[in-house]
Amino acid sequence: MNFIASLPTSRAAWLTLAASALVLEICALFFQYFLNLAPCIMCIYQRTAVLGLVFCAVSAINPQQVLLRVFGYLCWAISAFWGWSIANEHIAMQQNTNPFAFSCEVVPNFPSFMPLHQWIPSFFEATGDCGEISWSFLGMSMPGWMQIIFAVYSIAFVVVLLTRLLVKKSV
């Protein structure tokens, strides 16, 4: 328990979290550019959530500083839980046989002050169909695997934060 409680003050722990998310981003680009799987709007939103996990690396600058740790916690929690929610919705889109039940947006709904799909279209532009299952592994589509991955990130967040609060009595 003490080991888990001390992880938030470890630079290596924050860098490991960010590196794992960076590997997922590299995998997404591999699927897009080498396997020619066009990302849909929900894929782009999940990719954005994973990118939020990469931003946890900012906490590694000085994990002893509470404000940087809190920033890391916020990035971790928002990205993991939002990503799980998007993956869950994406699975529902793929499993629904009614073509009028869901509609897949064409343009990502990023804030007007930050149109990522215009700034970096090679990374944030959606060209695929949300309902299409063009890849599966062990009987699960990409959003199914992402749901598991985001669930692991979410559970890890809850375990680390609760352990930290209960054992160390601080964030």
| 4-18 tens-digit pLDDT | 898 889 999 999 999
Domain that holds residue 23: 2-168
3-state helix/strand/coil string of 113-136: CCCHHHHCHHHHCCCCCCCCCCCE
Confirm if 73 and 157 have CB atoms less than 8 A apart.
yes
- Supply the pTM of this predicted model: 0.91
Average pLDDT, the chain: 92
Residue 115, domain CATH:
1.20.1550.10
Total domains in the fold of the chain: 1
| 30-73 tens-digit pLDDT | 999 999 999 999 999 999 999 999 998 888 898 999 999 999 99
- The 8-class DSSP code of residue 171 comes to -
Among all residues, which ones are annotated catalytic?
Answer: 40, 43, 47, 104, 130
| Dist. CA 87–CA 104, nearest whole Å | 14
